[in-house]
Structure 1
Amino acid sequence: MAAMSNSYAQPILRTADLSEASRIVERLLAIADLRDLEVDFEVRISAAQTLSPLLKLLPNAEWWAEDDGDGSSAKGDEPSAHLPIRLKSWAMSPETVEPFLDSLGDSPATVRWDFMGWPEAPEVGLGVGGARGAFVTLCVNARDLELEESATDHTVFVHVKQVEAERAPWLAAQVGLRVIGDLVMAPY
Structure 2
Amino acid sequence: MLWPFNHFRKPRLAPPGTIEAIYGMIVTQAREPMFYRDLGVPDTVNGRFDLLLLHLWLLLRRLRTAQGGTELSQALFDRFCEDMDDNLREMGVGDQIVPKRMRAFGEAFYGRVQAYDQALASDAEALASAICKNILNGAGMDQARRLAAYARAAEADLGRTGEPALLCASFTFPPVPPEEVTP
TM-score (norm 1): 0.28
Q: Which protein has the bigger strand share?
A: 1
More helix by share: 2
